[in-house]
């Protein structure tokens, strides 16, 4: 397993739904009502409670849907993680060049929410690089920079795990990240 930033960031292959971190991040869509990929896997493994909480959040806070780059938190339901932080990544090519800023906002919003909830460990999937078509080479640079920027000014989060589904994806990330150490 590779690690960066004095061990605070760990990069590995695996299934996001199996992570025993305080929180895992869902690569959701603005409906917050489920989908395929990571989103489908999290709702399948986490059970109905997560969807019920998402429906409440939609009704009370985001009737028009969660905007791209923002994040909300629910319980982890039946998952080993205690919480799920749901964020909506940019769809590549649909945001007039603002995709890097929006993808960085996903990582920063999720980390900020973890910190506000006193969560020390969080696991991310590779947001937007599946159904939303963000090239992993570009996403690796953006996500690593956003995480490094956030952790520089924040000490309460001790572990950020970055989960890749395949070794190929992990290798691509390792070739393109911007962590200094």
Q: Which residues are catalytic?
A: 39
CB 15, min distance to ligand AR6, A: 4
Q: What is the dihedral of CA 11, 128, 54, 64, to 10 degrees?
A: 150
**Which residue's CB is nearer to ligand AR6, number 133 or number 156?**
133
Q: Which of 163, 170, 172, 177 binds ligand AR6 (CB under 6 A)?
A: 163
What one-character-per-residue DSSP string does 1-21 give? -EEETTTTEEEEES-GGG--S
Distance CA 77, CA 82 (A): 8
Q: Does 143 bind ligand AR6 (CB under 6 A)?
A: no
SS (H, E, C) 93-147: CCCCCCHHHHHHHHHHHHHHHHHHCCCCEEEECCCCCCCCCCCHHHHHHHHHHHH
Residue whose entry in the numeric block shows the structure tokens 């780059």: 69
**Which residue's CB is nearer to ligand AR6, number 36 or number 135?**
36
Q: Does 165 bind ligand AR6 (CB under 6 A)?
A: yes
Binders of ligand AR6 among residues 76 to 135 (CB under 6 A) are 89, 125-132
Q: Does 41 bind ligand AR6 (CB under 6 A)?
A: yes
**Which residue's CB is nearer to ligand AR6, number 119 or number 170?**
170
Query: Using CB under 6 A as the criterion, which residues of the chain lie in contact with ligand AR6 when the complex forms?
Result: 15-17, 27-29, 35-39, 41, 89, 125-132, 163, 165, 169
């Amino acid at each position: 397993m590779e690690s960066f930033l004095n061990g605070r960031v760990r990069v590995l292959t695996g299934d996001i739904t199996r992570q025993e971190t305080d929180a895992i991040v869902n690569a959701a869509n603005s409906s917050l009502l489920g989908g395929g990929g990571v989103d489908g896997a999290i709702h399948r493994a986490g059970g109905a409670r997560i969807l019920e909480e998402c429906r409440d959040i939609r009704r009370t806070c985001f009737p028009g849907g969660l905007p791209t780059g923002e994040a909300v938190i629910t319980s982890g339901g039946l998952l080993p993680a205690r919480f799920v932080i749901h964020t909506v990544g940019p769809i590549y090519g649909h945001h007039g060049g603002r995709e890097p800023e929006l993808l960085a906002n996903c990582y920063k919003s999720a980390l900020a929410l973890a910190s506000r909830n006193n969560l020390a460990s969080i696991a991310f999937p590779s947001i937007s690089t599946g159904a939303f078509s963000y090239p992993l080479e570009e996403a690796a640079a953006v996500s690593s920079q956003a995480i490094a920027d956030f952790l520089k000014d924040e000490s309460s989060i001790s572990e950020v795990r970055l989960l890749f589904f395949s070794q190929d994806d992990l290798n691509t990330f390792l070739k393109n990240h911007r962590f200094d150490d």
